[in-house]
Amino acid sequence: MPEPKLNRAVKTIAKERGKRTNKSPLKPRNEELRKTHAIEDQRELSTLLRDRLVFLIDTWAPQQGKYKFLEDKTGIQGTKWQNLFLGKQKPTVEMLMAVASRRRQYAYWLLLGSEIVRRNGEIWQEVPDEDKLHAYQTYRRWIEENKTREQVDETP
């Protein structure tokens, strides 16, 4: 019984693809570049996500007893929140969900970094004021730089 034309065509295409990929010396290099860029993009996205989370927490939680407040409100250990603020830990899904459920008006912005716009152009969820966010990020960078400087100055 002869083989259906479709199966022959699929096998021929698969063979051709196999020949091309085996002969192409550039493919591994392109894959390495793609993986490298994906890792860098993932790190950048993770940093942006962390920044948004820390910003929302700082505008919500009191400055005194912040970690205890977060532990009481979310059930997540205060040390984990502290590690997040110190940059020792990435945000966990539990942290994101806990803050998103308590700051619902910012949930979409927290997770995706943008606002939801309905079809009629109306903004559905709130987005923090960009000036406040920028000022906060500048402040956090200043704190990080000064912590680093203090640590360098203290080393004998």
pLDDT tens, position by position, for the chain (156 residues)? 554 555 565 555 555 555 544 444 444 456 665 555 555 565 666 678 888 899 999 989 999 999 999 999 999 999 999 999 988 999 999 999 999 999 888 888 888 877 665 556 665 566 677 777 778 778 878 877 887 655 545 545
Helical packing angle, 27-60 and 78-86, nearest 10°: 120
Distance of CA 50 to the CA centre of its chain: 6
Could you report the per-residue pLDDT of 119-144, keeping only the tens digit for each?
Answer: 566 655 666 777 777 787 788 788 77
DSSP class of residue 104?
G
Q: Two tokens at 7?
A: 């199966």
How far is it, in rounded angstroms, from Cα 55 to Cα 85? 10
The DSSP bridge partners found for residue 117 are: 123
The candidate with the shortest Cα–Cα distance to 19, out of 8, 29, 27, 31, is: 27
Integer Cα distance of 59 and 55 in angstroms: 6
Q: Look at residues 34, 26, 76 and name the one whose alpha carbon lies nearest to residue 53.
A: 76
In DSSP terms, 123 is beta-bridged to 117
Domain 47-127 in CATH 1.10.3470? The answer is no
pTM above 0.95, yes or no: no
Q: What is the token pair recorded at 26?
A: 């550039």
Query: Please, where are the H alpha helices in 24-129?
Result: 27-60, 66-74, 78-86, 93-102, 107-112
What is the spatial distance between Cα 80 and Cα 92, in angstroms, rounded to a whole number? 9
